[in-house]
Structure 1
Amino acid sequence: MNTKLVELELADVESIFTDKTKRKKVVENSFLHGLQKRHFILFQILPLVVTLIALPLMPYLPFGEFELSLFVLFWLITGLGVSSGYHRLFTHRSYKTHNAVQIILAIGGAMAGQGGVISWAALHRRHHELSDKPGDPHSPNLHGSGWRDRIRGLVHSHVTWMYKHEYPSVVHYVPDLIKNKNLIGVDRYYYLWVSLGLVLPTLLGGLYHWSLAGALAGFLWGGVFRILWVGHTIWSINSFLHCFGSSRFETEEHSHNFGAIALLTFGESWHNNHHAFPGSASFGLEWYRLDPGYWFIQLLEVFHLAWDVKVPTKERIQARAINS
């Protein structure tokens, strides 16, 4: 979804940077909307359709520890790529790491099928700028106060906003990222990385069972089902957690925490904490609040692969807390 968009904008980067009055925060045209619709069909609609078609076949396909392992492995690769990479590293710059680790995280995030890192970060920075206000790409709270309006808002924020939306200008929102040649290089091959996330589990399943049925099982569990699961768990942060849950901090939008799904979302469900301290690498903020995305960053730090990891002090946290 991002390669042509980035290339179009980068064509005029130098002239735009020399004249700030030319900068636009969002871009809208039929070409961009066409790319958005194609991406929506490929990575939001098609996995669901394939899943529904595959359900009657499941009794005839291999299923066991290997298939579950494939699902978990690629869930971890892509989920950490999105949470620790796309979100905490590239969007919020909450820690620093080596170029090689950046590339690995960017590829892992791309394999999730949620868009390339440049577009993802630009969209998320715009979300923080205008959270639950007009211009927020995926707020559930801008559609009215009636129960039908609330449902419509949830559906919009969870999935349908991706069908057609204003495209945040990468020049305005992510000037730091478009200067990173490694990220631009990864973004250019976005569809290759998504395909790799489907091909690898297919090959592993076929080799393990030495059969086409095994390959199909690998494709479904490590590829299609995993894309569907990672997508909906991450999208639930945009939708449900801007409507339901608890709020530890007073913020300008309607973000909430929901610890029950912290493990499933790599710690992203500490969403109110995140909006209170968007630059923090830790979303849980305390050791006893489960936050696998932060645990992974700490693991990188142990091996000297991450540094300048930003976490607010206890004093700052207590000062911001509602019941402090």
Structure 2
Amino acid sequence: MPEAAPPRALSDHQRHIAPHVFVYVFAAVPALALVAAVPLAWGWGLSLLDAGMAVGLYVVSMLGVTVGFHRLFTHRAFTANRGLRIGLAVAGSLAVQGPVRHWVADHRRHHAYADKEGDPHSPWRYGTSPRALVRGFWHAHMGWLFDRDMTDQRRFTPDLLADRDMSAVHRAFTALTVLSLFGPAVVGGLVTMSWWGAFTAFFWAGLVRVALTHHVAWSTNSICHLVGERPWTSRDRSTNVWLLAIPSMGESWHNLHHADPTSARHGVGRGEIDISAGVIRLFEKLGWARDVRWPTPARLEKLAVKA
């Protein structure tokens, strides 16, 4: 990981005003749709087609983030063939959490300075008083997104800058965002041959699904650094939160991840479901992934917190 440096040295430029405005739009509009989802679902406005597309796109896009953006591109927990690399980068982009190089740069920076000065989204940024932690929770969960200073990609993602495939997917982020949000509307409209079918598909499989992926992913930055269990030795305040294990595809076993960032499996204990690790195992058996860094008993013994 890069050596410690003043936070000012971690950013090389500011986000331009137009994409900065869109950060606000894509953070707020899906969240508002999520709030509106409860009354809309009460007896009308949700079809099996909408639900199926929403669940399917949630799984594909979330695994694109957890397996692709996170375990493959950020931490190199395994090696993937070219087709799988591109596929995971595209799938992760459909979650609308930012272009692949931006996402990876921010997350590598988070690990380099976890819960210290320079961490882009630590909930402990403002102190330990109740008021400071409320402010820190907001910052870790969403507030950090609105900072216009962009993490220096030349410092944190030189490998992806040199990767022509990843550069192409990075540049295609806007088009993939449009596809992710409005693709379901096209399918819904064509299947039902109605504008209402297009609208409900856009609402559920577009806006609500994106909002869910956002808040589940952001919860690993906020909740999984504030409350939960810490059975593994790490240099920060990362925790395991079992309640988020399934929706986060195994990312909420966050304490082991920070104790051993390059491990392909985060949930190793009995009953610790890690869907992302299972998908990586499948890719390995299919021959699409190799050099997988599975945790070993000796490694886990060394990392375990001693009573």
Name the TM-score, length of structure 2 as normaliser: 0.92
- Give the match for residue 258 of structure 1: 241
Question: Out of 192, 200, 204, which is 1:209 matched to?
Answer: 192
- Give the match for residue 248 of structure 1: 231
Deviating runs (4+, > 3 A) in structure 1? 49-62
- Kindly state the Cα deviation for residue 206 of structure 1 after the two structures are TM-superposed: 1.4
TM-aligned CA distance change 1:262 to 1:55, over 3 Å = closer
Distance 1:53 1:316 in 2: 46
Q: Secondary structure at the match of 2:158?
A: coil
Name the TM-score, length of structure 1 as normaliser: 0.87
Q: In the TM superposition, what are the counterparts of 1:82-121 in structure 2 within 5 Å?
A: 82-121=65-104
Q: What CA deviation, in whole Å up to 9, does each residue of 1:124-143 have, x standing for no partner?
A: 00000000000100000021
Question: Out of 22, 47, 63, which is 1:80 matched to?
Answer: 63
The answer (yes or no) to whether the contact 2:123–2:139 under 8 Å persists in 1 is: yes
- Give the match for residue 227 of structure 1: 210
Distance 2:43 2:200 in 1: 10
Q: What CA deviation, in whole Å up to 9, does each residue of 1:92-146 have, x standing for no partner?
A: 0101111111111111111111101101000000000000000100000021221
The answer (yes or no) to whether the contact 2:10–2:118 under 8 Å persists in 1 is: no
- Kindly state the Cα deviation for residue 169 of structure 1 after the two structures are TM-superposed: 1.1
- Give the match for residue 27 of structure 1: 11
Deviates more, 1:294-303 or 1:87-96: 294-303
The answer (yes or no) to whether the contact 2:235–2:259 under 8 Å persists in 1 is: no
Distance 1:35 1:131 in 2: 30
Distance 1:86 1:249 in 2: 24
- Give the match for residue 14 of structure 1: none
TM-aligned CA distance change 1:51 to 1:322, over 3 Å = closer
Q: In the TM superposition, what are the counterparts of 1:128-147 in structure 2 within 5 Å?
A: 128-147=111-130
Q: Secondary structure at the match of 1:246?
A: coil
Question: Out of 144, 150, 168, which is 2:133 matched to?
Answer: 150
Distance 2:170 2:287 in 1: 26
TM-aligned CA distance change 1:50 to 1:62, over 3 Å = closer
Kindly provide the amino acid, as one letter, of the partner of residue 26 in structure 2.
Answer: F
Distance 1:124 1:80 in 2: 16
Distance 2:160 2:215 in 1: 26
- Give the match for residue 46 of structure 1: 29
Distance 1:294 1:79 in 2: 13
Report the number of matched residues: 300
* Structure 2: gaps spanning 5 or more residues: 1-7
* Structure 1: gaps spanning 5 or more residues: 1-23
Instruction: Report the aligned-residue RMSD.
Output: 1.9
Question: Out of 247, 257, 270, which is 1:274 matched to?
Answer: 257
Distance 1:48 1:197 in 2: 16
